[in-house]
Amino acid sequence: MSRPDSAVSIPLSTPGASAEAEGPGRSRQEVDFWMNCVGAPLLLMERQTLTVRRANRNAAVLFGVGLEPFGPCPVEDLVGSEAAMMLGQIWNVAPVGVPGEPFLIRAVVQEQERMLMVQVTKLAVEDEILRLFTFMDAPPQGSVTLAGWQENVISLLNWLPFGFEIASADDQIQFANSTFKELFGYSQDDIANIEDWWRLVYPDPDYRAFARAQWYSSIAAARAENREMTPFDLEVATASGARRTIQFRHRTIGNFHVNLYIDVTRERAYAQELRVLADTDPLTGAMNRRRFFEEADRLHAQGGGHDMPIAFLMLDIDHFKSINDRHGHGVGDLVLIEFTERCRALLQADDCFGRMGGEEFAVVLRRPDQRAVADVAERIRAAVEDQPFCTARLPVSVSVGAAIGERGESVGSIISRADNALYDVKKAGRNRVIIR
């Protein structure tokens, strides 16, 4: 829609000013003078609450509150609740002093329905940024039908269960639905420009850099092929301090960017829980057998050109059946849990620890030589033997068989050699380490 010929001609900002940070703006007396020189009704409001601060005489006549300018009051008292809600959803982020695109509202003025055309402009008044609304009667031909469509579309956008945003070509917000505001919790004052968005939603600088790179590279790829951006997830911070996982979707339409924000926090958490359940031994929290061998294959595949070979430790708690028989399976379970905790405390973050079944466990790791592998195995053996287990104060020991992979050797072959070493440990009396 083109701007009407009667657009506001107030000198709205200090010459050369184009942003909030540049100078204190016009004085209140100067603004009062210029507002009353304009033939259109003008309301000067707070940016977020839309409380009327000042109005010119033409606005006083339009809204039936006398011939003189009037002071603070909710704009809802002048135009009705539905029109006030629509006014609050227009995010005018044009530079200070530049009128925004006109839009229509179906207002209730002096108890009568009236179609008004509205423009909003950011105005610097001394040390504060306010919003100046210009009201004009809408052109009669087709205006009622157009306003009806506009109302229906905005109602539809507010009904959507995800955040919907229309931004300009430079990513400045022009419209945001009610779900957007509920989702992120930030107001128009908080997100005055795109840099505010990046700073607030991604407070960690490193993650912010990652998010920006992901956003702009994905958009560039989509535009190059004239398609919707491939959706992706990012972790965001809301105004309340809560963290949410948001799926971002984008499409460039004409000169505008249409962005969708879908809260997938719960779904991603459920998916993560399912992955943990699928990959983890439910009693000890160690990797289950399937996941352990997947990780072993991954580490083995990464071994090409690596200066530290892959090694396997096969662990078997000595005489575990007698613990169950004498003290019950409940105590046996506590021993397995504590055994897992002691072993993990001695391993590095990228070592893999898994339960193969019963009292049998395995470790896959990388160490530079046999001495380093033997050191890990011996420290595990000693940590198990040195202190009794659980409240029953049970003495427990572990047998460890180890094997270090050779160039070109398969995972199956290395594990087989570690198993053979474990068998030799048991034959030799248990509670020791043998490397084959």
At 105-137, the pLDDT tens digits run 889 999 998 888 888 888 888 888 888 999 988
Per-residue pLDDT, 17: 41
Phi-psi region of 412 (alpha: psi -120 to 50; beta: other; left: phi over 0): alpha
Instruction: Return the minimum-mean-pLDDT range out of 17-21, 94-98, 241-245, 422-426.
Output: 17-21
Q: Does the pLDDT at position 23 exceed 80?
A: no
- DSSP-derived letter for residue 26 is B
Q: How far is CA 202 from CA 166, 181, 242, 245, 433, in A?
A: 20, 17, 12, 12, 50
pLDDT tens digits along 248-300: 999 988 878 899 999 999 999 888 888 878 889 999 999 999 999 999 998 88
**The length of the chain, given as a count of residues:** 436
pLDDT tens digits along 177-234: 889 989 999 887 788 788 999 999 999 999 999 999 999 999 889 888 889 999 999 9
Provide the whole-model pTM: 0.53
CATH number of 28-159: 3.30.450.20
Between residues 46 and 374, the one the model is more confident about: 374
Q: What is the Cβ-side half-sphere exposure of residue 167, based on CA atoms within 13 angstroms?
A: 21
Q: What is the Cβ-side half-sphere exposure of residue 248, based on CA atoms within 13 angstroms?
A: 16
Q: Is 135 in contact with 62 (CB distance < 8 Å)?
A: yes
Those residues with Cβ within 8 angstroms of residue 160's Cβ, 6 or more apart along the chain or in another chain: 177, 179
User: Judging by DSSP bridges, how do beta strands 310-317 and 173-176 pair with one another?
Assistant: unpaired
Main-chain phi, psi angles of 4, to 5 degrees: -70, 160
**What is the rounded CA–CA span in Å between residue 230 and residue 261?**
13
Per-residue pLDDT, 305: 46
Q: Is 404 in contact with 306 (CB distance < 8 Å)?
A: no
Per-residue pLDDT, 157: 84
Equal CATH topology for 28-159 and 163-268: yes
Per-residue pLDDT, 24: 58
| Mean pLDDT, range 5-33, rounded to an integer | 57
pLDDT band at 314 (very low <50, low <70, confident <90, very high): very high
CATH number of 280-435: 3.30.70.270
Q: How far is CA 267 from CA 89, 262, 279, in A?
A: 29, 11, 18
Q: Spell out the domain ranges in the chain.
A: 28-159, 163-268, 280-435
Neighbours of 267 (CB within 10 A): 13
Q: Is 230 in contact with 222 (CB distance < 8 Å)?
A: yes
pLDDT band at 144 (very low <50, low <70, confident <90, very high): low
Describe the chain by its helix, strand, coil percentages, rounded to 5: 40, 25, 35
**What is the rounded CA–CA span in Å between residue 188 and residue 172?**
11
Residues paired with 132 in a beta bridge: 44, 121
Work out the mean pLDDT of the chain and round it to a whole number. Answer: 85
Residues of 288-308 as b/e, b for ≥16 C-beta within 10 angstroms? beebbbebbeebbeebeeeee
Q: Does the pLDDT at position 160 exceed 60?
A: yes
Q: Does the pLDDT at position 14 exceed 50?
A: no
Q: Does the pLDDT at position 246 exceed 60?
A: yes
Per-residue pLDDT, 20: 42
pLDDT tens digits along 48-64: 788 898 888 889 888 88
Q: Does the pLDDT at position 15 exceed 70?
A: no
CATH number of 163-268: 3.30.450.20
Q: How far is CA 15 from CA 26, 94, 96, 100, 120, in A?
A: 10, 16, 11, 19, 20
The radius of gyration computed from the CA coordinates of the chain, to the nearest angstrom, equals: 35
Helices (H), 288-436: 289-301, 320-327, 329-345, 370-386, 411-427
Per-residue pLDDT, 289: 93
